[in-house]
Amino acid sequence: MLKTIILSLFLSVSAIAAKVNFKNDEIIFPKGKSEIEKFLTLLNTPENQKTVGIKNTSVKYNEIAKEGSAVFIIDSSEYMLYEDDFSNSGKKIYFIIFLHSGSGSYSGVQGAYELNGTKLTSLKFDDIVVKNLFPKADMSKFHMRLARPFAVKDHGKIVLRFMDDNSNSIHTYLWEKDKFIKTEL
């Protein structure tokens, strides 16, 4: 019980100190309509559709001109596409995030994918997070949404930002190869 209270206090104090304002060159913005269309052509194969879990069917777009980004909508599900070196390994990775899911209008990571020729390979992002943050596979206290902005550059590294559902505090994480660790901005 005392451990939980200390951990909660630590997380809330570090969240208060978290950086909330970023310059445009620090923010990694989601991709725009033309980049999304290129990515979606990869989903013309059943294998890539199965890997990503999204069918390339009728797509609608809501463009965010200020960012040069777009939300893409398939059926009633909304997504955004990122592409950068999110694992800080020197390789470009596609990140698909979902928006407004479920009764709580949750957002989160659909998956992280690497492109090998024309084949998308899942990097099993969920497994990396669970292995590093929840080695006993107990995620019962992990209730996170994507923070805005979701991905930022800090001292040459990309960090991912999540918001705690219960306290609206921001938590930042660094992904390096198979490590996913909490960090501070």
What pLDDT digit, counting tens, does each position of 42-56 carry? 999 999 999 999 887
Burial of 78 (0-12, 13-18, 19+ CB in 10 A): middle
Average pLDDT, the chain: 82
Q: What 8-state DSSP symbol labels residue 41?
A: H
What does the pLDDT read at residue 174? 92
Express each pLDDT in 120-167 by its tens digit. 999 988 888 877 777 666 554 455 688 889 999 998 999 999 887 667
Pairing between β-strand 144-154 and β-strand 157-164 as defined by DSSP bridges:
antiparallel
Please report which residue ranges of the chain form alpha helices under DSSP H: 2-17, 33-41, 46-52, 125-133
Read off the pLDDT of residues 83-98 as tens digits, 9 standing for 90 and up. Answer: 999 999 999 999 999 8
**Predicted local confidence at residue 177, as pLDDT:** 80
142-145: Cβ within 8 A, 24+ apart: 144/108, 144/171, 145/106, 145/107, 145/108
Rounded to two decimals, what is the model's pTM?
0.82
Question: Which sequence spans correspond to the domains of the chain?
Answer: 22-183
Sign of the alpha-carbon torsion through 120, 121, 124, 125: negative
Are 78 and 63 in contact by the 8 Å Cβ rule? The answer is no
